[in-house]
Amino acid sequence: MTETDMITARSLSRSFKTKSGPVEAVRGIDLDVRPGEIVGLLGPNGAGKTTTLRMLTTLLMPSSGTATVAGHDLVREPRDVRRRIGYVSQVGAPPSAGTIVGEELVTQARLQGLSKADATTRLSEVAPRLSLGGLERRALLELSGGQRRRFDIALGLMHSPQLVFLDEPTTGLDPQSRANLWDHIRSLRDDSGVTILLTTHYLDEADALADRVLVMDDGKIVADDTPDALKARISGDVITLAFGVAGELARAESVARTAVPVREVVVTDSALLVTVDEGAVAVAPILRALDFAGLSPSSITVNRPTLDDVFLTLTGRSLREGAEGDSAA
């Protein structure tokens, strides 16, 4: 923890009273986010991601624990926190008739304390940045899914916050809109230095966007590392070497074992699976050694473990299973 951290949370917890007894949505999490970081909060349905975000954005009182957000205490100085943060909630119900893109954005900016003139100027800056230029007079009901999500993000950016919380920014979007939104989110940090905490179900999203991934399960943070380090920590990379001639496999195995430090080697009918710490570094020495021994593989692939593998190792459950179990319940 340093003085300049954007978010510092200690033992943050929240429980809900429900008819079927208390629900411990978040169980004492610690969190540090540095300025300019993009941090991904990854977890299955019901892990407590939204609850965490709602606490950090002053929308929900923590049951216990403390947090400093954008330099101010969450509980004692909520208005100072609110002035400095942007919050984009999980997708809600369709918008009401009669709401207009530009008006809603200006209204939001004015509630954030901008004057009418400043809000209008800001609209003309933010709209094009999120490819909403020309849509200012459009009714919210007439926006496409991707446009709607970009509008939601624009709402959170009108007052130029230092810190933005995005709750499942790309859920429900087609692959092209997702990739497009990723670019927008990255440029927020790269061009304006905005710190971003986002939640996601998608492994590839956390992998693509986040500098650091917090894996959340059942109200607790079960891992906190860079996407690459998380992958390396769990299972290493797998180099798959295929050979046309079956007899070459046994010789190739001993060659590979002597060429680089391997974690594990598996021989299948037609291929050799070599698990190493870093595939990118190991591939060249292995190939040179094979070539020296007069062996040439018919194909080579390097597979990095997915965050799904990571999640499985960390929690003993696959992300997808967790999601299905929850929605079936």
Partner 1 sequence: MFTEMFVIFQRQMRILLRNPVWVFFGLTQPILYLALFGPLLKNVSGGGLGGDSAWRVFVPGLLLQLAIFGAGFAGFGVIQELREGVIDRQRVTPARRVSLIFGRTLSNMVTIGVQAIVLVLVALPFGLSASWSGIASSVVLICLLALGISAASYAMGLILKDEDGFAPFIQGVSLPLLLLSGVLLPMSLAPAWLRHASQVNPLTYVVDATRALFRGDFGNHDVWIGALVTVALGALLAWWGTRTFQRQSA
Ligand X SMILES: Nc1ncnc2c1ncn2[C@@H]1O[C@H](COP(=O)(O)OP(=O)(O)OP(=O)(O)O)[C@@H](O)[C@H]1O
Question: With contact defined as beta carbons under 8 Å apart, do 192 and 156 qualify?
Answer: no
If the CB atoms of residues 141 and 280 are measured against partner 1, the closer one turns out to be 141
If the CB atoms of residues 50 and 195 are measured against Mg ion, the closer one turns out to be 50
Per CB under 6 A, does 153 bind ligand X?
no
The interface mask with ligand X, positions 182-201, x = CB under 6 A, is -------------------x
Give the interface segment with ligand X, choosing from 39-47, 134-142, 181-189, 303-311 (CB under 6 A): 39-47
Cα R_g (the chain), whole angstroms: 24
If the CB atoms of residues 58 and 275 are measured against partner 1, the closer one turns out to be 58
CB of 327 to partner 1, least distance (A): 19
| b/e sequence 71-92, b meaning 16+ C-beta within 10 Å | bbebeebbebbbebbbbbbebe
Per CB under 6 A, does 112 bind ligand X?
no
Per CB under 6 A, does 50 bind ligand X?
yes
Residue 195 φ then ψ, to 5°: -85, 140
* Residues in touch with Mg ion (CB under 5 A): 49-50, 90
Per CB under 6 A, does 65 bind ligand X?
no
Question: With contact defined as beta carbons under 8 Å apart, do 25 and 56 qualify?
Answer: no
What secondary structure does DSSP assign to 204-217, as a single string? Answer: HHHHHH-SEEEEEE
Residue 99 binding partner per list ligand X, partner 1, Mg ion, none, with a CB distance cut-off of 5 to 8 Å that depends on partner kind? partner 1
3-state secondary structure of 76: coil
Per CB under 6 A, does 20 bind ligand X?
no
Tokens of 216: 């959340």
Q: How far apart are CA 62 and CA 52, in angstroms?
A: 9
CB of 41 to Mg ion, least distance (A): 10
Cα dist from 192 to 70, 129, 137, 153, 187, whole Å: 16, 11, 27, 15, 7
Q: How far apart are CA 246 and CA 162, in angstroms?
A: 59
* Residues in touch with partner 1 (CB under 8 A): 57-61, 79-80, 82-83, 85-87, 89, 92-99, 103-104, 107-108, 110-113, 152, 155, 159
If the CB atoms of residues 50 and 108 are measured against ligand X, the closer one turns out to be 50
The interface mask with ligand X, positions 200-219, x = CB under 6 A, is -x------------------
Question: With contact defined as beta carbons under 8 Å apart, do 156 and 87 qualify?
Answer: yes
If the CB atoms of residues 110 and 138 are measured against partner 1, the closer one turns out to be 110
Contacts with ligand X, residue ranges (CB under 6 A): 16, 18, 23, 25, 43, 45-51, 90, 201
